[in-house]
Amino acid sequence: MSTGADYSSPGLPRRGVLGAIYNSFADLGAWILTAIETLGDMTLFAWRTVVWLFTRLPRRATLVSNMYQIGVLSLPVVALTGTFIGMVLAVQSFTQFRSFGLETQLGGVINKSMLRELGPVLAATMLAGRVGSAMAAELGTMRVTEQIDALSSMGTNPIQYLVVPRFLSCLLLIPALTVMAVFMGVVGGAGYCIFVLDIDIHHYTSNANKFVENWDLFYGVTKSIFFGATIGVVSCYRGFHCEPGAEGVGSAATTAFVQSFVAIIVLDLFLSILLDTIYLMIWSDAPMMLGA
């Protein structure tokens, strides 16, 4: 149950054009205040989760069952998504690269895009839908049916018991699933280029090796660790703050996905800037972009 403040516009709505403008500003203000409050609340929630993570590790059985749900059961869909993204990249880039006679360079383009951007972002988006919504709906149902209150009433901290294993599973397994998606994308892209588009296997692989560095793998996996943590925190937070009723649970699941997705996209930009800056600081004379 929330005892939070109510920021809806004070008093009766004003009439007329000026009144409408006034009301829009008041509503916008209320929305911004609520958003800031939610962000602060979510940060505190994440902090408490991290504190519990270091205070007491979850039991092995709880962790394993969460890892199975989050990791193992997501494997087929993530692998399938990765394969198709790799193949689509091959189809999309082939015509343009062939017009310059650079089709043998496709391996570099596909693999670099998969490792740095498409693999982590699309796998995280897919998992925000599959894992995040399910976690929010499950925890939301537990909130609505007082199961979370029951846990607290028995002296068990619900963050420690419910959130920490889910957070840890997301933190560890979403990067692992991303690696799987990237691997399947690389395989899918290579398969399509070599067997369907008839690109020479030797040139394809040697170009792929030339352009892709270990840093690219580190780049993608680092991003996916942040994405995993974000999905874990946002989804569990939405489940814990679920409104009563079936509508509340549905809305918690939807909001968990939407907010995770927005957070992933925003984080992606800032992480890309940060990681590129770090790269330039370490290897200032190295080329940043493919073919540069």
Partner 1 sequence: MVSADPIIEIDNLHVRFGPQQVLRDITLSVPRGQTLAIIGESGCGKTVLLKSIIGLIRPQQGHVEFDNQRMDRLREREIAEQRTRFGFVFQNSALFDSMTVAENILFPLKQHRPKERARFQGELLERLAEVGLPTSVLSKRPAELSGGMRKRVGLARALIMQPEVLLYDEPTTGLDPIVSDVINELMMRTRDSYSVTSIIVTHDMKSACKVADRVVMLYPLTRLETDERQTIFDGEPEETELSSDRRVTQFVRGEAGDRLLEMRDRGVVDEA
What span, in angstroms and rounded, lies between the C-alpha atoms of 88 and 107?
13
User: 84-143: which residues touch partner 1 (CB under 8 A)?
Assistant: 142
Q: What share of the chain is helix, strand, coil (3-state, %, to 5)?
A: 85, 0, 15
Size of the site for partner 1 (CB under 8 A): 19
13: contact with partner 1 by CB under 8 A: no
Per the CB < 8 A criterion, the answer to whether 193 and 107 are in contact is yes
Per the CB < 8 A criterion, the answer to whether 279 and 215 are in contact is yes
Q: Which of 43, 152, 209, 277 binds partner 1 (CB under 8 A)?
A: 152
Tell me, residue by residue from 160 to 199, as one string, x for binding to partner 1 by CB under 8 A and - for no binding.
-x--------------------------------------
Q: How far is the CB of 103 from partner 1 (least distance, A)?
A: 53
200: contact with partner 1 by CB under 8 A: no
What span, in angstroms and rounded, lies between the C-alpha atoms of 123 and 179?
9
10: contact with partner 1 by CB under 8 A: no
What is the CA angle 198-201-206, rounded to 5?
135
What's the half-sphere exposure (Cβ side, CA atoms, 13 Å) at 113?
19
Q: Which listed range, 102-110, 128-136, 144-152, 164-172, lies at the site for partner 1 (CB under 8 A)?
A: 144-152
Q: CB nearer to partner 1: give 43 or 145.
A: 145
Residues binding partner 1 (CB under 8 A): 1-6, 142, 145-147, 149-150, 152-157, 161
